[in-house]
Amino acid sequence: MRTPIIAGNWKLNMNPEQAVAFATAVKDKLPQASKVESLICAPAVDLDALQKAAQDSDLQIGAENAYFENEGAFTGETSPKVLKEMGINYCIIGHSERRDYFHETDEDINKKAKALFANNITPILCCGESLEKREANQQEEWVVGQIKAALNGLTADQVSSLVIAYEPIWAIGTGKTATSDQAEEMCKTIRDTVRDLYDNETAENVRIQYGGSVNPANVKELMAKPNIDGGLVGGASLKSDSYLDLVNYQD
């Protein structure tokens, strides 16, 4: 059985003071982690304060990005080794904003996945097609290509513990959610790709989130789909009330 995982991606929002206020407001109202994992992926500058504020609660804290080297002359980067030392267990990689604005390649993302696993941090691997690719009906080919490149050289055990987030770019921050059928179709394609590359057990273990304008009004319908195991949520994760509605979608 896959445990659902609802993750906020705060992007470049929230300062440490706001982050602590958020954690304080939600930490006693979360579902049990064995039923639904509640995660917030926050800017690196907030992680220390957030981690302390969330201590001894079911709120898990993740990073939004990390470099593929642990240390050295890499000005401005975040070390996966230090994230682990801070108690961080999840990190987003390959978000479309990183691919588009910071020119991250499939090869970079593959290196980041390996570096995170080497530090015992679970990657949340993002993939997803542009509107142009969707309109040309090339979304499946595109996403399968991203997945194959990102997983290159990873073991079945690693992929079993991985989280993949399918985020169609045209649905991010636009208020235009993919229909639950469109989201399910691609999440199933991703699972089938993992089955082809590895085996049935690995495919049944990997958790696949949908992301793109997820909100308290549509989360239940998305989560009811057999191949959707969670959400990666931007805007609707910034307010504590709305985040609580998302993680408590089963109530």
> Which residues are designated catalytic?
95, 167
Nearer to ligand 13P, 198 or 249 (CB): 249
Helix segments in 77-209, DSSP class H? 80-85, 96-101, 106-118, 131-135, 139-151, 156-161, 180-197, 200-205
Q: If binding is defined by CB under 6 A, does position 232 make contact with ligand 13P?
A: yes
Residue 94 marked ligand-binding:
no
Residue nearest to ligand 13P (CB): 234
Residue 145 marked ligand-binding:
no
Distances (CA, A) of 84 to 6, 78, 121, 177, 196: 21, 11, 7, 33, 32
Nearer to ligand 13P, 62 or 212 (CB): 212
Closest distance to ligand 13P from the beta carbon of 152 (Å): 23
d(CA 138, CA 158): 28
Residue 185-224 contact track with ligand 13P, rule CB under 6 A, x = bound: --------------------------xxxx----------
Q: If binding is defined by CB under 6 A, does position 146 make contact with ligand 13P?
A: no
Residue 234 marked ligand-binding:
yes
The number of CA neighbours under 13 Å toward the Cβ of 166 is 30
Binding site residues for substrate, as ranges?
9-11, 173, 213, 234-235
